[in-house]
Structure 1
């Protein structure tokens, strides 16, 4: 049973932070699993409130991420710049075995807002890997890693997300091998390579640690469906430094409603409506919201891909939120390999400011007013938006 705790943190003038009230309507939805409408209703309300807070610029937080992003239980709470004072349910509808709930939330908005969230950060999602491929033989679900990654990527780019999925790769990147060798250096090399090849600031990959099916015991097992366990660990990687920003692990049991010798189509929508697929999708959505909140206030970086006289071209554009006239600060890299053979990132913020002159979907062109800058600014340096205060 999924337990949902709604903990509303009210931000009032008495605590000394300026605030303004704002009513926001948002819709949440959730699948009805095993006929449990009350559980689905709680999840739909939770989702709707999360959407309201994110629309208001608030930070969605969860006790599931209290230890470096590792999901440890199923209680959820919200806090941050947007604080819920009152929630009214506007409408409620059950359709196609899902429940849809629209809420109207009174959100007190603090004046102190995140200043680094104007641009969407580019992300590449790699196919999820299987630590024990033989477990996928039950149900012939070898494709679950690729399909789950595609679904995760769609959720990551939807709604009010501060992230933009540039690519969903078709081939695994070697996460399982890096983990077996306990090599953070290899993991960092993967992140930098994938990020550079796909114009992404972050790389997300994951591995199914477990997809086992519970042993069938007793005469009742003849008429009942077995339980299948999943454990899925996510890695959020910085594609510039190669560092692991955080990880998140989701783990749960769910009813497996297919025959023992069935070949299950995990790409079919029906799979994600069945109990196992629905619970997996629900847990992945928690990770999506956690990662989005984790990166919301991080600076968006654009890589310089071309330098010509006093003009630079960068690998972020209209889809990231770049506009003509935006000002960008040039950051120059001086990365190196230390004596132990480890990659180290080093940079300094230059005196150069670029002004965006032309914006395309995925790139932008900017000019730098400083005379004689060409010898200093190079390809693979990067830019960050100048925060207007």
Structure 2
């Protein structure tokens, strides 16, 4: 029995323990991806299969979290925690392709269906990463790491590119937004407007803000006896992330991440937070580990959210919207058209609402970032305008 089959049997065995047998199983076919740069083919294949299996389970209505630890090329730990009432009967490897260092597998999983479906998991959501804000700038004096407010979001961008299965992203890191000032004054309505403005200008569905709250040094050195020779002190790192829906300005998720690690550089040495030296240090490695958790949390919070796109052109019975191949859209996909409308509450606050129209459209043309779709029956649109939405649930 080969390595891959052993691991799949382990996964299936765990899944079969979740619920009693049901006679009404259903096949789901999904794709998974993994990179070969740091993995053997066997390990990459297993990771890709696990990624595909997670998608299949989510489509079937399960909620999955997975932790893998690979040491010396051997899978030493594989924990799948399933919160669902269904299970997997069998898995088949349908296809396996290589594109550079990217391995893609297609599997078919026989899953006992759930009431809740998550079809949106096959569509990537567009995310805009903004420049962070150092809340106590004087804490950056040692090392002169003032540009860490750009370096950390840039590192997060790299990790999203490598590890996120559910996002496509862009970033604006040269200019700081007004988020921290508005957040400090609890101006939630203005943060909502800021999120919608940034989303509209960048064609993004979600906006990620962040604040670096603590990069101070702890009072005690890691080694008091050697301190006079080395000056190695633990340095804190506390960062908050805020994910906003750019369509309606609502806060989707927020979390704080904190840890500390030895600062291995001398007190007067200037360190570039963009440098390899920084990211290969114990402090930089610690931040990278935290960012891996951020990527996972972002994926978990948006993977099953509806995929929404803005209509950017309208002609007759044909529309163009800002979702394309990079978002997972395919020829033949159907979307529902939503009409955007704004309203004000009694206290004068503005809100964005949506009315479901009777129109459904089917994708006929694709580019990387856009899609052209038309009504299947040829009906002309009535009351649909540019900046209205299409949605796939």
Within the candidate set 172, 175, 178, 1:174 is matched to: 178
Describe how 1:78-157 pairs up with structure 2 within 5 A: 78-80=81-83, 111-112=113-114, 114-157=118-161
Instruction: Judge which range, 210-219 or 133-142, deviates more.
Output: 210-219
* SS at 2:383 equivalent: coil
Aligned to 2:51: 54
Counterpart CA distance in 1 for 2:151 and 2:331 is: 37
Answer whether contact 1:51 1:160 (CA < 8 A) is retained. Answer: no
Is the alpha carbon distance of 1:338 and 1:25 closer, same or farther for their aligned partners in structure 2, counting shifts above 3 Å?
closer
Q: CA deviation at 1:26?
A: 6.0
Counterpart CA distance in 1 for 2:351 and 2:111 is: 39
Write out per-residue CA displacement over residues 305-344 of structure 1, whole angstroms, 9 at most, x where no aligned residue.
1112222110111111222222111011122122323232
Q: CA deviation at 1:370?
A: 6.2
Answer whether contact 1:153 1:168 (CA < 8 A) is retained. Answer: no
* SS at 1:304 equivalent: strand
Q: CA deviation at 1:186?
A: 2.0
Counterpart CA distance in 2 for 1:281 and 1:220 is: 27
1:305 is the counterpart of 2:309: no
Aligned to 2:100: none
Describe how 1:262-301 pairs up with structure 2 within 5 A: 262-301=269-308
Aligned to 2:332: 325
Q: CA deviation at 1:55?
A: 3.0
TM-score of the aligned structures, taking structure 2 as reference length: 0.74
Aligned to 1:200: 204
1:237 is the counterpart of 2:244: yes
Answer whether contact 1:336 1:344 (CA < 8 A) is retained. Answer: yes
In structure 2, runs of 5+ residues without a counterpart are: 1-10, 58-62, 68-78, 90-108
Aligned to 1:246: 253
Q: CA deviation at 1:252?
A: 0.6
TM-score of the aligned structures, taking structure 1 as reference length: 0.75
Answer whether contact 2:18 2:87 (CA < 8 A) is retained. Answer: no
Counterpart CA distance in 2 for 1:270 and 1:366 is: 49
Answer whether contact 1:13 1:19 (CA < 8 A) is retained. Answer: no
1:221 is the counterpart of 2:227: yes
1:335 is the counterpart of 2:320: no
Counterpart CA distance in 1 for 2:363 and 2:126 is: 19
Within the candidate set 11, 15, 29, 1:10 is matched to: 15
Counterpart CA distance in 2 for 1:138 and 1:353 is: 58
Instruction: Judge which range, 262-271 or 234-243, deviates more.
Output: 262-271
Counterpart CA distance in 2 for 1:269 and 1:212 is: 22
Q: CA deviation at 1:163?
A: 0.8
* SS at 2:151 equivalent: helix
Is the alpha carbon distance of 1:180 and 1:9 closer, same or farther for their aligned partners in structure 2, counting shifts above 3 Å?
farther
Counterpart CA distance in 2 for 1:292 and 1:168 is: 20
Higher helix share: 2
Q: CA deviation at 1:172?
A: 1.8
Q: CA deviation at 1:373?
A: 4.1
Answer whether contact 1:229 1:253 (CA < 8 A) is retained. Answer: yes
Is the alpha carbon distance of 1:133 and 1:29 closer, same or farther for their aligned partners in structure 2, counting shifts above 3 Å?
farther
